[in-house]
Structure 1
Amino acid sequence: MRQAFALPSKWAFFGRPAALLLAIVLSLSFAAEAVAAKYAAIVVDANTGKVLHSSSADSRRYPASLTKMMTLYLTFEALQRGKIKTTSQVRFSQHAASQPPTKLGVKAGGSISVETAIYALITRSANDASSALAELLGGSEADFAKMMTAKARSLGMKSTVFRNPHGLPNTGQFTTARDMATLGIALREHFPQYYDYFSTRSFKYGKQRIANHNRLLGRIEGVDGIKTGYTRASGFNLVSSVVDGNRKIVAVVLGGESGRSRDNRMAELIKTYLPKASGRGGGGDLIAKTDPKTLKDMAVAMLPKSDAPTPDERPDAFDVSEGDANDVADAIEEYKIASAGVAIEAPAAERFGGDVPTPKLLARQERVEAIEQAYADPAPRPKVAVDPISTASTRGGSGWSIQVASSPSESEARKALESIAQKAGAAVASASAYTVTFEKDGTLYYRARFGGFETKTAAWSACGALKKKKIACYATQ
């Protein structure tokens, strides 16, 4: 049974170094402009290989931390062949230890067990542990990346190239939704003895309880893995494996606009296509196994030329990992709930290791608004509706708007707009007031907005004027 509890005075999340958090917050302020992710998806019957749904499934995308699925594939393969054990030590070189977050934070010269590294990749999506495993298995990141690409080709992933083991930005690293589905099926088929690692909800590392970034685990019945991923260039990615009796599917969503909208889209795909999957069971492996002894030779022969085309959006030199993006977004949401005097249920706090973060870092309203804008959850696709109050200058979704309130009552949202219009005066005099509906937990809400701003600067300027009158506001496109 879930138990509600009061918000503690300190949040464990912000125990990370302040400099790192500052860099994350500042980078998020530009995220709304930087994300140019392209949506792609596929649903495959894992018994028959039949494609049940496809949308841009063969278009080139950045994998982000889905890359770690291949790092884990090669790790499981090494375990299966006795080259390493789960108790074998993974040493962290200076290079591995210096990888940017999300990470475990092992110092150079330190080590962890292979099993701990596996847990770290699956739950926290640790970049430092990924590099350390790559150096253990391939000698260097570069050589391991060649092995990864060769393995991809041998599994039939014809449109994937790996340049690193973790998915941090690299213009030469790309994949497709179809290839990621292939890898998801291969992980289940080839390593049933290790596949249960993907269903890990959390694991204990030192004094930390590290939660899995995959929030569909425990939320959607039948979901048993596999991996999430995020960079600004890729958008929010997710590969899910779902089992219902004899029915099995692997579904992929790439380029989500937010973690929540990606998860909601995945939930829609599962609900729609799992009942359409075959219930007869498979007739053998869909993805052929290969002999790893030839991997290094294959790597040299199969790597594409250096001028191979890459996705349209180039990765940024500095990026934010999904763990940080989700943690900060959740911190905002839970801070708002707590500020309203509503108790937070235990599962929400479990994502932070049993504690809930402190609002200290969110003291400056500008930072909160920047993060809200970067990770605002779009209204669910089937539920979107615009209810205009005055449409004279509203541009039907184009241009910029400012949001000033949100309420489950349409009349309250309208009243808020009327009241703010009177208080704000010239700041919104030429804007059009309207409401946008969205659904959360079965309840329909109304976002109160003023639209018709030509540029982001104009919208932010209007928000600045409203804030001086102590009216909460943030800009959105």
Structure 2
Amino acid sequence: MSPAYRVRLGTVVVVLFSFLALLAVKPAHANPRYAAIVVDAESGDVLHAANADATRYPASLTKMMTLYLVFEALEDGGLALDQPLPVSSYAASKPASKLYLKAGSTIPVEKAIQALVIKSANDVAVVVAEALGGSEEHFATMMTRKAQELGMSRTTFRNPHGLPDARQVTTARDMAILSLRVMKDFPQHYHYFSRTRFHWNGKTITGHNRLLDNYPGADGLKTGFIRASGFNVATSAVRNGRRVLSVVMGGFTAASRDAHMADLLDRGYVRLALQQRGDWIAKADLSGERMALPEPLPATPPATQLTLAETIPSWSQSLATGRTEASALLAEPDTEMGSADDPIRELLARNDPASPGGAWAVQVGAFSDVDQARSLAARAADSLASQLNDVRVAIAEAQGAPRVFRARLVDLQESDARTACQSLRQQGMDCLVVAHN
């Protein structure tokens, strides 16, 4: 082999390894747009938060603030539902999604509300902005001022529709605050957010929010998308008389975003159910923080009744910084959630490094009472007797106060642990797979 050939070969190897190194680190930055928050609307408890205070683009979630100011004007007498709003040539020129209004025409306020919620019409957003603020720019200033009044400290609005503007930013937490305030401050108008279609000029206009049809108990609020933001959604749902609100930002697709939102809501209800049942360590302030709710939210409609066993999937990620061991199972990362066909779930999963054989465990709970921990672990082991031979139960006291005892099935291969946890979930028992030392 000539020296020149060896040099060329060495260069190829270096380039190849550099390329592989780039591939290896890419998953850590797989979705820089992702953020989420889940809130118990009754108490303000934050049940889950991921990048909740990171700067994001709101896209059409912006229109919730536009609607907030419309509702405020209705209550103040500045607008009436049947009042016609004039359409300017500037408003008519806005890109889709739009109602394709003609310059010089009008649209009644109530139809404008429906078009903003259901169609997410950008031309209608400008019509409203010009009616209430005189201009899009001044209305955006009004929006930002209102955001600050509501406690949305990290939000700046530059337009009423959410079309791309690098200066128009928010956070998942701020969008959750806005969603809660829309429900609390204008319960008489919240019903618009549950609509999935309306009629305009002899046509039936359908919406983008599939969760309203597909998720039991969902009754609002809003979707959004621009390329810079990814797929966003704010969703409120009611089950068993309890309302949970969640915001997801940065979805790769509308379908994966909706699936992830449904998963987060399910897990939020599981946390509430376990808390009410009283045998898990589930303090009211699960993530160590609470959003201010100065007054109760409006009465909720009859809820879809689901038993604990029907809503028992385990939590998707450990809670926000500041959690304590009193959060029980929530204090552990869930290594079961990774999925190659759902990049959001894969991003959320926090997989531990590969451990030697037999170094995995299935955690089935964490309790203040050691006997309760031992009892549940034994019950889980009994239910798995047909598929696991000589499974060992371990009750370990976590460090710190208050005293918490983890109930685990230990000394398992990773594949056996995952299979066992799936089997337990099918039997209605919450669990997660963890590396066990």
Give the structure-2-normalised TM-score: 0.57
Letter in 2 for 1:145: A
Percent identity over paired residues: 51
Which one of 70, 74, 96 corresponds to residue 75 of structure 1?
70
Residue of structure 2 equivalent to 1:186: 181
The question of whether the paired residues in 1 share the 8 Å contact of 2:63 and 2:162 is answered with: yes
Structure 1 position 80, deviation (Å): 1.1
Letter in 2 for 1:178: R
Structure 1 position 212, deviation (Å): 1.6
Letter in 1 for 2:48: H
- Asked if 1:131 corresponds to 2:126, the answer is yes
Compared CA separation, residues 270 and 127, structure 1 to 2 (3 A)? same
Letter in 2 for 1:207: G
Structure 1 position 142, deviation (Å): 0.6
Residue of structure 2 equivalent to 1:26: none
CA distance in 2, matches of 1:70, 1:46: 19
Structure 1 position 81, deviation (Å): 1.3
Structure 1 position 267, deviation (Å): 0.5
Structure 1 position 379, deviation (Å): 6.5
Which one of 223, 228, 252 corresponds to residue 228 of structure 1?
223
The question of whether the paired residues in 1 share the 8 Å contact of 2:62 and 2:162 is answered with: yes
- Asked if 1:276 corresponds to 2:240, the answer is no
Instruction: Give unmatched runs, 5+ long, in structure 2.
Output: 1-29, 277-290, 297-339, 349-437
Which one of 238, 246, 258 corresponds to residue 241 of structure 2?
246
Compared CA separation, residues 379 and 67, structure 1 to 2 (3 A)? closer
Render the CA deviation track for 1:405-455: whole Å, top value 9, x for unaligned: xxxxxxxxxxxxxxxxxxxxxxxxxxxxxxxxxxxxxxxxxxxxxxxxxxx
Structure 1 position 246, deviation (Å): 2.4
Compared CA separation, residues 37 and 232, structure 1 to 2 (3 A)? farther
Alignment of 1:6-405 (within 5 A): 38-277=33-272, 286=293, 378=342, 381=345
Say which SS state the counterpart of residue 44 (structure 1) adopts: strand
Say which SS state the counterpart of residue 208 (structure 2) adopts: coil
The question of whether the paired residues in 1 share the 8 Å contact of 2:112 and 2:124 is answered with: yes
Say which SS state the counterpart of residue 158 (structure 1) adopts: coil
The question of whether the paired residues in 2 share the 8 Å contact of 1:87 and 1:113 is answered with: yes
Render the CA deviation track for 1:107-133: whole Å, top value 9, x for unaligned: 111101000000001111000000000
Render the CA deviation track for 1:204-238: whole Å, top value 9, x for unaligned: 11132111211000211111010000000000000
Letter in 2 for 1:123: I
The question of whether the paired residues in 2 share the 8 Å contact of 1:258 and 1:377 is answered with: no
CA distance in 2, matches of 1:107, 1:377: 43
Say which SS state the counterpart of residue 90 (structure 1) adopts: strand
The question of whether the paired residues in 2 share the 8 Å contact of 1:36 and 1:233 is answered with: no
CA distance in 2, matches of 1:380, 1:64: 19
CA distance in 2, matches of 1:379, 1:194: 36
CA distance in 2, matches of 1:37, 1:222: 30
Say which SS state the counterpart of residue 250 (structure 2) adopts: strand
Structure 1 position 285, deviation (Å): 8.0
The question of whether the paired residues in 1 share the 8 Å contact of 2:40 and 2:46 is answered with: yes
Say which SS state the counterpart of residue 214 (structure 2) adopts: coil
Structure 1 position 77, deviation (Å): 0.6
The question of whether the paired residues in 2 share the 8 Å contact of 1:182 and 1:287 is answered with: no
CA distance in 2, matches of 1:210, 1:76: 22
CA distance in 2, matches of 1:285, 1:210: 37
Render the CA deviation track for 1:164-220: whole Å, top value 9, x for unaligned: 000000011000000000000000000000000000011111132111211000211
CA distance in 2, matches of 1:208, 1:158: 40
CA distance in 1, matches of 2:294, 2:55: 21
Structure 1 position 146, deviation (Å): 0.5
Letter in 2 for 1:381: R
Letter in 1 for 2:98: K
Give the structure-1-normalised TM-score: 0.52
CA distance in 2, matches of 1:125, 1:225: 14
The question of whether the paired residues in 2 share the 8 Å contact of 1:66 and 1:167 is answered with: yes
CA distance in 1, matches of 2:174, 2:183: 15
Render the CA deviation track for 1:383-424: whole Å, top value 9, x for unaligned: 99xxxxxxxxxxxxxxxxxxxxxxxxxxxxxxxxxxxxxxxx
Letter in 2 for 1:286: L
CA distance in 2, matches of 1:39, 1:250: 17
The question of whether the paired residues in 1 share the 8 Å contact of 2:251 and 2:344 is answered with: no
Letter in 2 for 1:141: E
Compared CA separation, residues 383 and 100, structure 1 to 2 (3 A)? closer
Compared CA separation, residues 255 and 383, structure 1 to 2 (3 A)? closer
The question of whether the paired residues in 2 share the 8 Å contact of 1:65 and 1:230 is answered with: yes
Say which SS state the counterpart of residue 268 (structure 2) adopts: helix
The question of whether the paired residues in 1 share the 8 Å contact of 2:143 and 2:157 is answered with: yes
Letter in 2 for 1:160: T
Letter in 2 for 1:199: S
Letter in 1 for 2:242: R
Higher relative contact order (Cα pairs below 8 Å, separated by 6+ residues): 1
The question of whether the paired residues in 1 share the 8 Å contact of 2:44 and 2:292 is answered with: no
Residue of structure 2 equivalent to 1:416: none
The question of whether the paired residues in 2 share the 8 Å contact of 1:203 and 1:211 is answered with: yes
